[in-house]
Structure 1
């Protein structure tokens, strides 16, 4: 029996080596036939029979194992190399989009303090939500543009709109014009940059995808930290107009080289960019990702826009201290997103995201709700930035785990569509809860924020629980401590 088995295995190796040798010979013949004179027989006719036989063998082998012909295209992902350039470019894109959008809170505070447009805090909150909502609602249309024109054209259009929206917002003389520039034009630019670029890191990484994605998404914190400190200085020295113009110009200068350096591997990973596949809303695994994203994104917007006002209006801290808490939150994003990306690769993507949002929910319901000093608010700001923004760095790795890289762009289009409503109403809803506590319940000081803070913490915890549905789908059981 053993001799027979060994003989069979030896025969299979010989046949395999012969087939591969024939395939290499076929490739050699195809590549050299056009570069040398055609050999002929004695009667002058070409020697075609041998080459034809070899080509037939190669075609048969490709039919049996198509991966041989596509080896150079579909091989193992680089997990480094030029992929780190892609990560750096994505970091710049996030800094000039989400990072700049985060600093809108500095502008709205200035508008309120100086009665710039005569609007209320609630009025200004809708503008920031509008730009974020428009950005994510463009998912299907941006995917259509990628399919029709390639991924670079939407990115360049987005870079122009981001810069133009900021510059036009500075010269707007009415609140309606400001809404169009800051809310609509800038939002369109964010969307055209966000949607085509988000899947690109997954074209270069698989083993270290979460870490690479976390570093790229840390650009939001980098942009928020830089612009949230430069914006107050520029507002004080130059006013609203030139602050917006300078910010817009900086964005254009940074965005165009970053877009130019981006490279995709759409063919290599066989990526699809279907504009509108509603099946992902009912996919047995992906629907849990969408529910998790919906809840946690609303909590994210409540946190980043309500925390500074809580520090100044509820605790009586200075504007400088409130701005410092916002900067610390941005620093938490810079540290936290790569850190959680590393943990996602080590401990399982779903597992670590669940842990992240349990921490976000518990710290919101304890440190933020009970905190009454600058020190505690600074601590919470760092923890919030390090945990509640995990959604941005985890969205692509989680989606890739559930749907695969091939369908990633198509699924993410529905993911962005899902975030439209929480992006739009997250910040205004948090403010409305505070107004309700003050006007209807008669609460003042920190007590006026209790309902808003409790709602925010509940959103984080509910999102963590819902994500267990995706874990169940991936591993086929409810074992909590299994690496998934």
Structure 2
């Protein structure tokens, strides 16, 4: 094993604690290493030093556009489902429409192994360009559908498939350009989801009133393709420089001693994320009797919280330790969910909760790549993230329908009405956020080698 001066490494990492012996493989054959060490020329002169800027900021802007037209569009699905229910558009129930939204988010992450297989054979951009076509066609064709079945395919499967082919190849790319400011760069890029949510959630109601559901979907699909194609063409990875690997299905990450805790955190918090993002507006209108305009305003404020919170937490992750700050984020989110949303009975309290939830619950999107990089290193990042996305298939698909079923159970079996019908669902949501924070302690122990809670990690 190479003889390395650990003291010198610590100095270059700003006195960061050592995660594990450098260059010493763990039980799965993966090297335990921090991102900074992996790219330090004094450790491995064959690996280029990361730019930490330059063209990397162009990548940030491109990813912002990609996120706005994928996850940002997906978060506005609630606007359409409300219109479907109000107009009995497909003669389907609220639960039927919930499955469509969940299916699109689930399909997006299930295609991870396929996307990595395509990257190995065609490179990064071809699957992303195919994904852009699927996203645009999925929305345009959804507008032309006359019944629920074809709509389920277009909005739930085709659109979700396109999102996945864009998402999986693009998410590891910032780790090719940044290490010291990786979480901050990821936060700015992920703010695109919030920006897309704000723009499309305010444009869609206007278009629905003026041109109807059909042309609203077609216009939205065309706008997305106009943004996605140039963003993809400007993307540039440094796969050779960082020795990036994109194994389609490396199952041993499921029992990797550090990554398994990351997967558990992602499963729990994503379940809570979708329950909250799809329930806040309906709670405001159905339980509290607010107008649709007020419910839409609360949904927009949640998206605004994402725009502010994701870069902010990215900055904090780089300063206070990635794991520590994410734990803090979800403790805040869980406490505020139970302490503010559960007793909320006014527009002002819901505005407060929506902003705090938007600023904290979406930290998973800013933190996933930096945390995974800390645990497995940038070389294995693409392979690990394919398993990460696959893990999210169940919560993505079931969170919203599950929340609706809990509310329906409270109404039909427990005879609860108004805000009381949502109490179990809200409590469950808050518990998921707190449980996710606890799960991250396993990642912290893996990186530190001890259980010291205040140690920077």
Normalised TM-score (structure 2): 0.90
State the match for 1:338 in structure 2: 311
State the match for 2:269 in structure 1: 296
State the match for 2:356 in structure 1: 383
Q: Describe the superposition over 1:21-49 as per-residue Cα deviations: whole angstroms up to 9, x where unpaired.
A: xxxxxxxxxxxxxxxxxxxxxxxxxxxxx
State the match for 2:365 in structure 1: 392
Q: Check if 1:97 corresponds to 2:78.
A: no
- Secondary structure of the residue that 2:232 maps to in structure 1? helix
Distance 1:398 1:303 in 2: 23
State the match for 2:225 in structure 1: 252
Closer, same or farther: CA 164–436 of 1 in aligned 2, 3 Å: same
Choose which of 371, 374, 378 in structure 2 pairs with 1:401.
374
Q: Check if 1:126 corresponds to 2:126.
A: no
Distance 1:173 1:314 in 2: 31
Choose which of 220, 229, 236 in structure 1 pairs with 2:202.
229
Any conservation in 2 of the 1:400–1:408 contact (CA below 8 Å)? Answer: yes
Distance 2:253 2:176 in 1: 21
Displacement of 1:75 in angstroms is: 2.2
Choose which of 418, 430, 438 in structure 1 pairs with 2:403.
430
Q: Check if 1:79 corresponds to 2:57.
A: no
Distance 2:180 2:74 in 1: 31
Q: Check if 1:208 corresponds to 2:181.
A: yes
Choose which of 412, 428, 431 in structure 1 pairs with 2:385.
412
Q: Describe the superposition over 1:391-432 as per-residue Cα deviations: whole angstroms up to 9, x where unpaired.
A: 011000000000000000000000000000000000000000
Which contiguous aligned blocks of 4+ residues in structure 1 show a shift greater than 6 angstroms? 70-73
State the match for 1:107 in structure 2: 80
Distance 1:275 1:332 in 2: 34
Distance 2:248 2:376 in 1: 16
Displacement of 1:71 in angstroms is: 8.5
Q: Check if 1:459 corresponds to 2:432.
A: yes
Aligned length: 418
State the match for 1:162 in structure 2: 135
Distance 2:386 2:311 in 1: 24
Normalised TM-score (structure 1): 0.85
- Secondary structure of the residue that 2:53 maps to in structure 1? coil
State the match for 1:13 in structure 2: none
Point out which structure has higher relative CO (alpha carbons under 8 A, 6+ apart). 2
- Secondary structure of the residue that 2:403 maps to in structure 1? helix
- Secondary structure of the residue that 2:246 maps to in structure 1? coil
Larger radius of gyration: 1
Any conservation in 2 of the 1:73–1:267 contact (CA below 8 Å)? Answer: no
- Secondary structure of the residue that 1:462 maps to in structure 2? helix
Q: Check if 1:483 corresponds to 2:456.
A: yes
Structure 2 unaligned blocks of 5 or more: 1-39
Displacement of 1:76 in angstroms is: 1.4
Choose which of 89, 114, 121 in structure 2 pairs with 1:116.
89
Distance 1:170 1:112 in 2: 16
Any conservation in 2 of the 1:337–1:393 contact (CA below 8 Å)? Answer: yes
Cα RMSD after superposing both structures: 1.3
Q: Check if 1:350 corresponds to 2:319.
A: no
Displacement of 1:74 in angstroms is: 1.9
Q: Describe the superposition over 1:55-84 as per-residue Cα deviations: whole angstroms up to 9, x where unpaired.
A: xxxxxxxxxxxx99x999622100000000
Distance 2:273 2:103 in 1: 15
Distance 1:416 1:466 in 2: 18
Choose which of 335, 342, 358 in structure 2 pairs with 1:362.
335
Q: Check if 1:219 corresponds to 2:196.
A: no
State the match for 1:57 in structure 2: none
Displacement of 1:309 in angstroms is: 0.4
State the match for 1:182 in structure 2: 155
- Secondary structure of the residue that 1:272 maps to in structure 2? coil
Q: Check if 1:443 corresponds to 2:416.
A: yes
Distance 1:288 1:71 in 2: 29
Distance 1:391 1:97 in 2: 16
Choose which of 295, 306, 328 in structure 1 pairs with 2:279.
306
